[in-house]
Structure 1
Amino acid sequence: MKFKVLFYLWLLGLINPGSSADVSVPLGSSAVLNCSFTSMSLVDDSLLNITWSFNGLVIASRNHTQPGFFLNTTASFMGSFPLTVYNATPDQQGVYECRVSYNDSHYSTDVTLTLLVPPLVSIMLPEVVLKRKTVVECWARSFSPPQIMFTWTRAGNKIQDPQKLQVNRTEDGLFDAVSWLTFIPQISDQNTSFGCEVQHTALVKPILEEFRPHITVLPKVSVSAVPSASHSSPLTLSCDVSGFFPDKVSVLWVQNGKVLPNLPFAVQNEEGMYRSHQYHTLSVEERSRGGEVQCVAQQPNVQEAAYGTIDLSTVDPRVHNPGLNKSAKASVAMMIISLTLVFLLCFGFSWKRRDEKLKSLNVSAIVLPPRVIVGKKGRVTISVEGRLAERVQTTWFLNDAPISDTTYKEKKSDPFSSAVYTPRTSRVSVVSEKSSLLPSAAAGYYKLHTQMSPRSSSSSMKQLFSSVTFIPDLSIHKGAVFKCHISYKGKDKLVAERVSDKFTILAPPDVSEIQFSEPHEEGGIVTMTAQASHFHPDIITFRWFCEGGELSPVSIPQALAAPRPDAVGFFSAMSQCRLPAAELERGETRVWVTVHHTALKQPITRQTRGFIKRPSVSEIISSPLSSSAEGAVALACDITDFYPPEISVRWLHAKANESEEDEDSEREIRDGAELWGPLQTLPRTFRAKALIKELLETRRRGEIVCRVMHCSLLKPIDRVWRNTHTVAPSIPPSLSVRWSTDGVGIFSVLLSGGKPRAEVLWAAGGTTVSKLLSRDRERENREGEPELQSVCVLLRSTGRQESDSRRAGHTRKIRPPSVDCNAECEKADGLESVGEDKRLNEHLEENDEDEDVDPSYINTVRLRKEKKERLRVNVEITHPALRLPAYLTWTEPAEEASS
């Protein structure tokens, strides 16, 4: 017994657990999880058993490894068994257990895999009302790991009070977090900068999102009555609305729940607040109704309205009347009976006229487009036929939200000026009295269109067509219906209402290329995967084929195979198929997959010929050989990213024309041709370089061709090198600058001559510069020489508000830095090319009249006003005949930057 105890104690000492560290990698990267144990050199390797487990399931062992993982056992004699996780996804992060068994002894260690995904930060700012509690939400979405910290700031100073924080795990395995800032706005907070700073492990530096609250000041409303001569005359009421901001406010008069007409008018006082005085005169009938009269002041984007109330009983106290005698009572009864008969006659007459109008109109059902596809315009239409069709007006709704025209028309201006957008005029929708006071409009793009049929002018029966053009959006139009209200112009009552059927929104799938897994170590089986994303509805079909017929897909877990919706409602799905690696290794078997969906007229096909990668061939690079004979050059061509490694390169001399003495137009060059490589860069990627040395005088009349041949190419790839004569262009000493009336700067440079064409790169900024977009035009001057004109248009911006206003579709007028910038810039930079700039400006003005500039070519350059940065514009001109690039610079004068 004592001997057995000593034996097991010796056996336990053979294996000791080593060190393990947690691993953090970016999303989609491969991670190596280390697992090492120290053991004696005499341990029998056949008695060792290694397993890696995740979430209670064995994912890798010495006998089997699941796809997406790789267990390296080559260093088992050193006690190291690392596990490689390929293309790590959020579902793969967590705790992995490495377990090593020797005989009856078991040892384990844990390794935590964490994905580093930076958050996307956004702020949701509600309506801000003075001295009313406001809650601002700061969202951080799609990040990992879940540890995150929010810090709120006001005017650059941190708010020390602790804030609430909530972190939730999303369906895709990442995390969302939200932090709330609760504060009571004061008048001093108007346009004060608030910020939400987010700190996370995956961020190099914290993200700071700022906002400026625009505070709404609720008005004070009081209602009073203007004394009248008698109770039988109209009563004038006065509504005083004061102390509100901004000046946009609507005033409604409401008597016993019914809205009365009103005409608001606002005046600003010395304190910057607005005041509106509204009068309304009640008729004798309205005054006799009695009850309460309210003056309601409603401001935009504010749900709660301010109101004042006056009780008519306090203005017109009831006078106690003595009892009536029998004759007076009989007279009153006869009067009531007469009024009742008149009312019934009027009501019957109006009801008859309503029936006649209804019968005189023939309203069709709402016609939906045959296919409603996300992002493509669709149109719903309704027709109204009748003798009074030209007097009909239509009001469209999406569900219960009224639809207004959201299209814009572009106003033509100076070619280099920014485009000005103005909203299209559209009629205000008729809203019923039972609707809310300020109904919200339907979100999305809509264009309203109404027209009469051409045959209506020659026929007594007229026909009107009304339609709504919209761009389908899944988050807005899914499960929605269109409604159309038919009424006569100037009338609030509805004649007819039509509701459309529910329509299905279609979104075609985005199908990836076929992806391959690494071959299984035992059977050499390769798993091929095709993914479809961003489609709707969720019914989709994958069909796999090879040259021998149709293949059967692999049965994968239902959670991966079934279409999965995202936060918006689009679906994604995947399908897999398997083939032996021997059939795919050299591209001997062609495999393709077809994806069928109801949004597709034809199925999408993705095909591959196995592990074959098409080579990328660079242009031919030449360099003179100083150590060789005069006129000799070395030509090189890079060939990268190809598989398999077998590749062939031929150098050819192509003649200038086919009238040469030789019959062949191309002749192979064998002397001096070399192929360096192929060199393996990745497990299935190679690169090589083709080299040759040539004498220029023997090839002066022809071209040198590098022809690359590979099994992945249907035809060879040719790269051509020509021994052309280079001439440097004529570069002006300065830039030409012109400012338009709305603050848009037009910078240009004119290059004369030069062969081949020069490359022009624009950049602008303050302390640092950024690349700009430009337009280049080539033409010939009067002397027949080529000219290159490069024009760059930019707009200065000194703050974030300017950028926001331009994104909203409105151009903010900016004072031009100078009226005559050319003269000032020449004085500042010491330039002397007055004649050249004058000729270039005339050239630009001629071109501006004939050509419209796309607003997308207007560059916005942001300058930090607090650091008093000066606008700086740089141009880099490169040409083969120039040993170094040429640079032209324009700097804004200091006195203009300070102003």
Structure 2
Amino acid sequence: MECKVLVYVVLLPFIKHVSSSDIQAGPNTNTTLPCNVTFPVSEIGNKTDTSLIDAKWRSNGSAIASFKEAASRINEGFSWDTTEFINGVFSLTILKTSINLQGVYECTVSYNSSIVNSSNVTFSILAPPTLSVPQQWVVLERASHLTCHIDNFYPSPVSYSWTRDGVEVRPFHQVEGELNPEGYYSAVTNLTIFPSREDQNATFGCKVSHRGNLQQLDFKLNITYSPSVRMSVVPTSSKNSALTLYCDVENFYPEEVSVSWFQNYTKLAEDSLTEQNPDGTYRTRRYYTLSPEQRAQRGKVQCAVSQPGDEIPVNVSGDLDELDPQDESPVLTKSAKASVAMMCISIVLIFLLCFGFSWRRRDEKKKSLNVSGIILPPRVIVGQKGRVSVSIEGRRVDRVQTVWLLNDTPITDTSLTGTSKANFNCLYNPLTTIHLPYGLTLTSPASEKGHLLPSRGEMGYYKLHTQGPLHSSRSGPHQLISSLTFIPQISLHKGAVFKCQVSYMGKDKIVEEKVSEKFTILSAPEVSEIQLAETIHDSDVISMTVRASHFHPDVITFRWFCQGGELSPVASQASSSPRPNSEGFFSAFSQCKLPRSELEKGATRVWVSVHHIALKQPVTRETRGFIKRPRVSDITSTFSSLDQTSTLGCEITDFYPANISVTWLKLWEGEHDDREEEVLEGGEVWGPIETHPRCYRATAILNRRPTNQEKNDKRGGIICRVEHCSLPDPVEKHWRNAEIVAPSIPKSISVCWSNEGVGVFSLLLKGGHPKVKVLWSSGGSTLLPLVSSETEEIGDDGQRELRSVCALERSTSLPQQNNRQEQGSRRNGHTIDTKAAVTDPDAEGIQYIDEKAEGKTLDRDEDASLSDVEEDSDGEREDDPSALHINRVNITNGPRDPERARLRVCVEITHPALKMPVYRTWIEPNEEISSL
């Protein structure tokens, strides 16, 4: 005991006290409170005795954990590592932090009944807020209130502001918030606006600042356009029959509208038909027929229109006494009847006189036409047939012809699918319909109710429809409806307009031309499932990604939700302008992150809704659980001499979910590339077996007996292909039949120079599998790659022989001069035959290089003609497989130092059997430089 006290006295001056500190953590996390003491070893070699250590943790007057005489006690919800006490670490870990665990924690450590350390740690919760903006409708140019919910933050207060397209419209304002039952704070902020048409595509944002952290939730408004309402009646000949009322509702948005009818404040039934205007708003006409009994009741009739987001309906009312007067016509006397008869006779005489003057203009009146505007379909969707039409009224519509154009290009009929010559010619005639007398028209025999046809060429799919002439009366005008069916394509119809030219048969003059409004082409997005993956730098955080593709226009919204409310995405391509692909369609993605612990519980439901103008209802995708990518090992092989079978194995570990697919494929290695063969039988998967919660492993095994051909073929192999839902592409592991063998490499490079300064360098490599790779380079102080030629043959001993040859010409001029000399040498140079160049230096190859044109000297004229011929044949020499390329190397030190450096030629040899590349170098001797 006295010895222990002495050791304590010796160690006491070296003990360090831990100062007080503040610790902040988020809710439901594991947080460690530090408490460290250093126990240095004394000079006599004694170590710290744990039986003399007395450690305690207290908070708010209550004991949490204690350690005395090697016995430990700790409350539920806390943990510490007693094995680290010998190292002076007494840290306390709070499991699943919460607000009621906040406070000051005191750590006291005693050694041999004397306090050696006392430190305080103040622990507090820091919870960032979650933002949500309820989806709501606002009314155009009417006071509307936007609401932003700021929930589950701690401590209080927070500051908030509102933005529009990134510009602050309300400065930051601080709010304390209200305490909810869970102990966290919540607040609600409002913004009053008067929406305008410019706010339709504007992005509003709710920005919140909490303890230095800034969050922002962006959203767009759904604006309601209030309609103009007008009520009328359809005149009737009888006062005792039913009366039809109609109510015109115009220039409203969105399409969803409710029209109700009331008579004397009693609601009546309704019917609906809605059409879209060129500016994107809608119009509708609602009818209601009063029965004779209802008509006789008289009173007040009301038409009320309700829209989403508008609490006050727009209504119009009228009194039946004013809309449908019931005054009886007075009874005429005999004298009054006589006066009326004389008046009628006078009117008839005047009419006969006027008719004579108007007889000459009868034909011109018959020729007058009334052409309506081009009516576009309410929704133009890619791949779905749409129709544009015009209505033509007049007395001579039976002699009218119409021509349709896209912008200024006449449209070609591509609806015919026949292969006859007649049908083939129809494909290239302008889309013109001639209406013959007696109601006959020339129409296409193709059926419009068939399947969608693919677009042909650059014009697309078009088909003409006609209806009429329709006779409204024997003497009145006739009506003709000409329409065009087309399949929208973004590349053709984006920003385009349709034109319809109306003229008479046999006349070149265009009576009237109508031009349509520009229309928006819609394409609904294709939404992928939510992909879950581990974050690269933090495996405890799971990223969730959803992708939308093939949509148009580019405005798209992703909204993430969980059971607790709306989530904020961490990355989104939808906030910026996505770029279209070659076909004009857009793609975007959105990403959200959650802790792994939330997803591994299996109870957290996360979903995302995708909003687009082409969708009548948002597309929703929901998580299907946690996903983890598998790790695939290399293939190992064993061979059994008893039954002559081989077994290949591949380990697949750390994946989730358990569904996994393994395929074994035979591979034949050719001279230039590899090609897969048939799927091999005999493969099986052992497992999957669960190694950890939501983590599996499996083993892929292939048992097979190799054929004699496979035993002799040393170049083939086998592929193990693993597919899993977490993998965008399958993982493949390769196994080769033959072992990797290094080639035989000579110790030096063979070189030979010609009298014209052309050097031929060669290297012969024997054996090796697979094929070796060779790279030549040369220069002075620095090296540049060269063009070489390789030939492969089988030697007498049956081994592969690879001969690599490289030819170069020395150049000591500057780069600009070198270009001129290259042109000259290209005219006066010689062709080097590959076979001659790679032979032994003492053989005929070098003689061939030095050989002149039979020893003759060419004069200037012959030299010029020969140069022209050689210039014309330069392209042919490049295509000659037996020609060896001559590399020209500049070996000067630079423009400022024209003195030539020593020439170096280096070859790099790489092979899978070599751990590092092998180099062979040739350096020009000093005596050769001095002699030049």
**TM exceeds 0.5?**
no
Largest Rg, 1 or 2: 2
Taking structure 1 as the reference length, the TM-score comes to 0.32
